[in-house]
Amino acid sequence: MNQTRKPFRRLLLTGAAGNLGCQLRSALANWADTVRVSDIAALGEPAPHEETNVVDLSDREAVMHLVEGVDAIVHLGGISIDAPFDDLIEANIRGTYNLYEAARKHGVKRVVFASSNHAIGFHPVTDVLDADSPQRPDSLYGVTKCFGESLSRYYYDRFGIETVCLRIGSSFEEPKNPRMLVTYLSYRDFIELVRCSLFTNRVGHVVAYGASNNPVKWWDNTKAAFLGFNPRDSSVQFAERFPASAPTDDHDDPAQRFQGGPFVLGEPMERSR
């Protein structure tokens, strides 16, 4: 049978059992001959083009094996909310380090890293940020995303591994609260952002914000315009669910004043023993 060659031979997707991993999994079929899907959780039956690997990202040897033979990585795996420090260290700090170190050893050229708006969540809601705005994490979770952004910068400067750091807003089926009218990233736009991040010829190391074309904007993607990401969706269709109010930073409630919303209220947590 004469099969058309796809742009990538083998792509690795971490966090494939999660919310966004499930959305991306089928799209990747069009982009790579083989998609290696991985998670610490069960992954279900592999499709014909898939290889499944249940791996804890904190297991260095297992991650080294996981990354062997892949052309590029979409790294979504890890803890996706604030959590005890010891847990974040394993999944998000050690896990991301293991992944980059394996990428270096196996000659992987490109990583798309799921960072988060919580890397900049302590900026007030009245600010508009771009890729050069200082990191202001709003939680230990946000700190781990800042670590991932710095680690990937180092691996680019030192070893030439390119990374697009996606500061994803709120990527769910629908916005769940007024804040998400600003931070909403539709699943369709999320997939397109990953596609642009994988397919743009040279990206170096770049930060791109992940939001749909929402009426209120906190983030300016001009410095990542070369990715060609043009969101097609908008939170406007959900606006009437939440009463409109002008952005303000004079609220008493920090969850209203800062872009990170309720994440700014979190307490540092120890693992409960």
Active centre residues (catalytic): 141
Say if residues 221 and 99 touch (Cβ distance below 8 Å): no
Nearer to ligand 15L, 67 or 165 (CB): 165
Phi then psi for residue 135, to 5 deg, are -60, 135
Nearer to ligand NAI, 161 or 168 (CB): 168
Identify residues 157-216 at the interface with ligand NAI (CB under 6 A).
Answer: 168, 170-172
Say if residues 149 and 120 touch (Cβ distance below 8 Å): no
Q: For residue 54, what is the enclosing H or E element?
A: strand 50-54
CB atoms inside a 10 Å sphere around CB 269: 15
- Cα 41 to Cα 64: distance, rounded to the nearest angstrom: 19
Q: Which residues bind ligand 15L (CB under 6 A)?
A: 80-81, 116-118, 170, 183
Q: For residue 97, what is the enclosing H or E element?
A: helix 95-106
Among 11, 12, 13, 17, binds ligand NAI (CB under 6 A): 17
**Is 41 a residue that touches ligand NAI (CB under 6 A)?**
yes
# residues contacting ligand NAI (CB under 6 A): 25
Residues recorded for the chain: 273
Nearest approach in angstroms of CB 17 to ligand NAI is 4
C-beta nearest to ligand NAI: residue: 18
CB atoms inside a 10 Å sphere around CB 138: 27
Nearest approach in angstroms of CB 261 to ligand 15L is 6
- Residues lying near ligand NAI in the complex (CB under 6 A): 15, 17-21, 39-41, 56-58, 76-80, 91, 95, 114, 116, 168, 170-172
